[in-house]
């Protein structure tokens, strides 16, 4: 079975079993992956890069291609099945094998990473619009704590997803979506340095890049 087909099957099964945290029906497409990895090829020296919620490794594939020779990569993922798949790819797939010695798979929530860890670049695939406002605030606090001063955070969301969902939602859901919007504005307004529009994705997505 091809890797593509296998990973789509794994992802679909996790979407059905763990909808809330998986948050998408399919792995990200390659345009979204490339946009999320936009800043991996920038910069020099030994950098520490964290990918949050790598799933089956769709975005990781774009990251590993551009990893510098001294860069270190951490993948933080809470889903058992995705962790198993990532370890398998690191052990057996050319581009992943090449960086395996410099890559750690951390099987846990990003919020629980210890305070001492500091990264130059954080790339997040988390489905923030699925979470409670308190969860989103905790996750954004974790990003701020984990980023080195001057570091970059890249994350995505589906274009206009909150207004679209709000149209068909009751008051409690509308309030949740407004709360998430406000939490995200708190980092986008002061820190966003670049926004990519990814039309060839299902659904189309924005990738936000923030320097914090
Ligand atoms: C929308 S999927 C994205 C998967 C992959 N990056 C892609 O683009 O195909 C979200 C991923 O985040 C993981 N996840 C959700 N909450 C998490 C958390 N608090 N810490 C770490 N990973 C989390 C899920 O298990 C899932 O793999």
Report which ligand 1 atom has the smallest distance to the Cα of 57.
5
Task: Map residue 143 onto helix, strand or coil.
Answer: helix
Query: Is the beta carbon of 76 within 6 A of some atom in ligand 1?
Result: yes
Could you read off the pLDDT tens digit of each residue along the chain, which spans 212 residues?
578 888 898 888 888 888 888 888 889 999 999 999 999 998 788 999 999 999 999 999 999 999 999 999 999 999 999 999 999 999 999 999 999 999 999 999 999 999 889 999 999 999 999 999 999 999 999 999 999 999 999 999 999 999 999 999 999 999 999 999 999 999 999 999 999 999 999 889 999 999 99
CA distances from 6 to 10, 32, 172 (A): 6, 20, 38
Residue 155 to residue 187: CA distance in whole angstroms: 12
pTM here is: 0.96
Please tell me the residue having the least CA distance from ligand 1 atom 12.
53
> Which domains does the chain possess?
3-211 (3.40.50.150)
With tokens 């406002």, the residue in question is 133
């Amino acid at each position: 079975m091809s890797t593509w087909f296998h990973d789509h099957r794994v992802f679909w099964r996790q979407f059905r079993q763990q909808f809330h945290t998986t948050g998408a029906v399919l792995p990200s497409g390659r345009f979204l992956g490339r946009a999320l990895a936009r800043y991996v090829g920038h910069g020099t020296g030994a950098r520490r890069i964290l990918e949050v919620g790598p799933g089956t490794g769709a975005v990781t594939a774009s990251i590993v291609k551009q990893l510098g020779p001294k860069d270190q990569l951490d993948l933080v993922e809470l889903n058992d099945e995705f962790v198993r798949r990532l370890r398998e790819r690191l052990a057996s797939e050319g581009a992943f094998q090449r960086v395996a010695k410099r890559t750690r798979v951390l099987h846990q929530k990003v919020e629980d990473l210890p305070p001492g860890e500091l990264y130059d670049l954080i790339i997040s695939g988390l489905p923030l619009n699925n979470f409670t406002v308190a969860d989103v605030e905790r996750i954004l606090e974790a990003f701020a704590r984990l980023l080195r001063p001057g570091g970059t955070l890249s994350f995505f969301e589906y274009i206009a997803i909150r207004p679209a969902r709000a149209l068909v939602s009751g008051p409690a859901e509308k309030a949740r979506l407004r709360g998430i919007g406000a939490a995200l504005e708190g980092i986008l307004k002061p820190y966003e340095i670049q926004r990519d529009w990814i039309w060839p994705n299902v659904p189309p997505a924005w990738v936000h890049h923030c320097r914090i």
